[in-house]
Structure 1
Amino acid sequence: MSPPELDPLDQRLITLLRHDGRRSISDLAIDLEVSRATVRTRMARLEKAGVILGYTVILRADAVEDPVRGIMLIEVEGHAADRVIKALSGMPAVQEIHTTNGRWDLITTLSATSLPDLDQVLRRIRLIPGITASETNLLLATPRTTRARL
């Protein structure tokens, strides 16, 4: 079953909820210029269809990024991916881990408070057994993101 088509009202509702998932239905209705019943019905439909999977708390540590960020592309030998992912998951500087196809097996996003701190993180990652090669790129600016910001 494919997800329902989102009309402009659904899209505006989702945008408001992304910015503050705890907003009251009354406040949402006022901003959207519709009734509370309409908002309630739309939210229920989007939840039932699996468009909205849930509402969450965003911790300050998750929303406020460190000043130095990068993407590390990682090549893993043989069947070591699970072991490498487990090791990376225990490192606070590793924000995200993605499996992928092509030249690189994993892509991670990293954050650190300074370039020397990032250098230390990179050195620790390169020592993880099973990693055979890596390439790191610094992120200079983020013109667009859907992550919450404080």
Structure 2
Amino acid sequence: MTINKQLLKALTSNSRRSVTDLAKQLGLSRITVKQHMEQLERQVIDGYTVRLKEDVEAKKIKTLVLIAVDQKMIKRLTEQLRKIESVVELASISGEYDYAATLSADNTASIDNDIDTISQIEGIQRTMTSVILSTKFRR
């Protein structure tokens, strides 16, 4: 495995680790790790984020909403869906539906309201919603 792949794997599991800790783990000098991190930040890494603890994340209500859309309105629909705060991910998919949106909120009322908002956007033809009961693992 290349240094960059090893570094990305280590950062994916914990992006808060210091360069010194990463260097120790990978058996490399601190300067080598720093140079590789700078290269990855220029070319590959878009940003660092916070991952909530499992017990905090488990309290959130998450749903997967499949969305069929009018193909002529896809760009506008994407922008409308981006404005809904609980939509944390939007993927285009193949099959009967065009999009799969993952929603996450603190309660069912918020999710219900946002699903109603989605279904009322002009160009949305139909939706199908499933509640995510648990996440078995995340990378």
Q: Does 1:126 align with 2:119?
A: yes
Q: Which amino acid in structure 1 is aligned with residue 48 of structure 2?
A: T
Q: Does 1:73 align with 2:66?
A: yes
> Secondary structure, in 3 states, of the residue corresponding to 2:23?
helix
For residue 140 of structure 1, report the CA deviation from its aligned partner.
Answer: 1.0
The separation in 2 between residues aligned to 1:143 and 1:33, in whole angstroms, is 32
The separation in 1 between residues aligned to 2:91 and 2:21, in whole angstroms, is 37
In structure 2, the gaps of 5 or more residues are none
Can you list the C-alpha shifts for 1:46-70, whole angstroms capped at 9, x where unaligned? 567x4x334434487xxx6461101
**Which residue number corresponds to residue 12 of structure 2?**
18
Contact 1:21 1:55 in 2 (8 A): no
**Which residue number corresponds to residue 34 of structure 1?**
28
> Secondary structure, in 3 states, of the residue corresponding to 1:79?
helix
| Pair 143,11 (structure 1): closer, same or farther in 2 beyond 3 Å | farther
Q: How does the TM-score come out when normalised to structure 2?
A: 0.78
> Secondary structure, in 3 states, of the residue corresponding to 2:100?
strand
Q: Does 1:109 align with 2:102?
A: yes
Equivalent residues, number: 135
| Pair 44,88 (structure 1): closer, same or farther in 2 beyond 3 Å | closer
Q: Report which stretch shifted further, 9-18 or 121-130.
A: 9-18
Q: How does the TM-score come out when normalised to structure 1?
A: 0.73
Can you list the C-alpha shifts for 1:106-146, whole angstroms capped at 9, x where unaligned? 11000122223221211111111111111011111111213
| Pair 109,47 (structure 1): closer, same or farther in 2 beyond 3 Å | same
Percent pairwise identity: 29
Q: Does 1:53 align with 2:53?
A: no
Q: Report which stretch shifted further, 98-107 or 131-140.
A: 98-107
- Please report the RMSD computed on the Cα atoms of aligned residues, expressed in angstroms: 2.6
In structure 1, the gaps of 5 or more residues are 1-6
The separation in 2 between residues aligned to 1:137 and 1:113, in whole angstroms, is 16
| Pair 46,105 (structure 1): closer, same or farther in 2 beyond 3 Å | same
**Which residue number corresponds to residue 85 of structure 2?**
92
Q: Which amino acid in structure 2 is aligned with residue 120 of structure 1?
A: N
For residue 27 of structure 1, report the CA deviation from its aligned partner.
Answer: 1.9
